[in-house]
Amino acid sequence: MRWRIRGGRPLGGRVRVSGAKNTAFKAMIAALLADGPSVLENVPDVEDVRIVARAIEALGGCATRSEATTWIIDPRSIREAHVRNSVLARTRASPFLIVPLLVRFGEALVPAPGGDRIGRRPLDRLLVGLEALGARVDACGEYLRVRATYLHGAPYRFPKNTHTGTEVLLLAAACARGETVLENAAQEPEVDDLIAFLDAMGACIRRTDERTIRIEGVPQLRGARHRVMPDRNEAVTFACAALATKGEIEIEEVRPSDVRAFLAVLEEIGAGSAWVGTTWRVWYRGPLRSAYIRTAPHPGFMTDWQPLIASVLTQAQGVSVIHETVFENRFQYARELQRMGARIEFFNPSVEDPDAVYNFNLGDDRPEFFHAIRIFGPTPLCPAIVRATDIRGGAALVLAALAACGESVVEGVEHVERGYARLDAALRALGAEIEREDA
């Protein structure tokens, strides 16, 4: 699949963001822990959600879309503890499925996670955590076999921040016998949204400070209704579309606290930004300034935002720097931006204590990986044929194509559609010229 984009015109208008993909598919899996059906509202119509729905059906459960953004998840007929690799090959959902299968059958056999090629997603942090709660983990070729007669509460401290690890252990601890205390836990808004759903199901979870979560296990969770939080990544994408095209967009259903780190960067580069309740207006109000950005787990600048802001910074005056600390290899999209005329230099910053600065496992690093880029601007972008290899990097190429005068083709947009609900249609409503084509 590819999109043909004719850029060079300012985008403008109003757009409403979808529910958060990074909460929705995890909540669908959490619903499998209940004794009855759950109703999830504001679920985005994205490929990752559809893949998880098919996986639930393959296990014998029911995942039914009752309305455009409402799903009913009923786990009562699940009969299979083995998740086939072909079902989940393109997502990172498999670690989450370990827990409901383990609780239901005492065993789970799941494939290693797929998803975006932006660096390794180390499972060691969550697997050691599951072992601390009484599970036994074995590698079986391309699969993981996890077994436990029952899970028991325990204290566990994550050696480094892990969004996925925190959420998987929340599911496990909610059903374990006794109390679990997770230290150095992730504090992303999506984590708290998942906690809200689990609590609605009857779990007993509370944060005792920003990075400590205390969970008292309960014998049984019940079905519940939950509305998925707005997607802050989608909101930032539209904000960057306004700036990259020198336009003005009003973005509805955004929580200011979810994008606080991004707001600081907008102030640094001189972009226009204002709020009326949960409607966020972003506009180009003159030449943009360069910025220094270092990604970090929440409340820092989100790693998913750095490809998006990179397209904007190609149009900023001066030299901007983006230092990626969450993933070891997340600048593949920058090579494609170079093909569009962007002046980008790859480098590795001098770091005194790499293990403290970088959230990835240093053993996964490679000499050919770069952890930072310099962007020299402003540079007119030229139309080109480019290829997306991940969700946010693909969105960054779409933004660059919208900024370039002329016709570009973005191939591999199936990656983009894993994380965005009809992004092309939303952009067309804002004035973009985008045509879908089968490659």
Phi, psi dihedrals of residue 69, rounded to the nearest 5°: -125, 20
Indicate if 21-227 has the same CATH topology as 2-18+230-437.
yes
Q: What is the reported pLDDT for 396? A: 98
* Mean pLDDT computed over 41-52: 95
Q: What is the reported pLDDT for 439? A: 64
* Mean pLDDT computed over 284-289: 97
Phi, psi dihedrals of residue 220, rounded to the nearest 5°: -155, 140
User: For the chain, how far is it from start to end, CA to CA, in angstroms?
Assistant: 5
- The amino acid at 414: E
Instruction: Look at the pTM and tell me if it is higher than 0.85.
Output: yes
Task: Report pLDDT digits (tens) over 342-377.
Answer: 999 999 999 999 999 999 999 999 999 999 999 999
Tell me what the pLDDT averaged over the chain comes to: 94
Q: What is the reported pLDDT for 350? A: 95
Q: What is the reported pLDDT for 115? A: 46
Q: What is the reported pLDDT for 141? A: 80
Task: Report pLDDT digits (tens) over 150-208.
Answer: 999 999 999 999 999 999 999 999 999 999 999 999 999 999 999 999 999 999 999 99
pLDDT level of residue 116 (50, 70, 90 thresholds): very low
pLDDT level of residue 92 (50, 70, 90 thresholds): confident
Q: What is the reported pLDDT for 430? A: 98
Task: Report pLDDT digits (tens) over 395-424.
Answer: 999 999 999 999 999 999 999 999 999 999
d(CA 178, CA 357): 34
Q: What is the reported pLDDT for 112? A: 73
d(CA 37, CA 72): 7
Q: What is the reported pLDDT for 122? A: 64
H or E stretch including 289?
strand 288-289
- What is the CATH T-level fold of the domain 21-227, as seen in this structure? UDP-n-acetylglucosamine1-carboxyvinyl-transferase; Chain (3.65.10)
The CATH code of the domain at 2-18+230-437 is: 3.65.10.10
- The amino acid at 97: L
Has residue 118 got a pLDDT over 50?
no
Structural domain spans, the chain: 2-18+230-437, 21-227
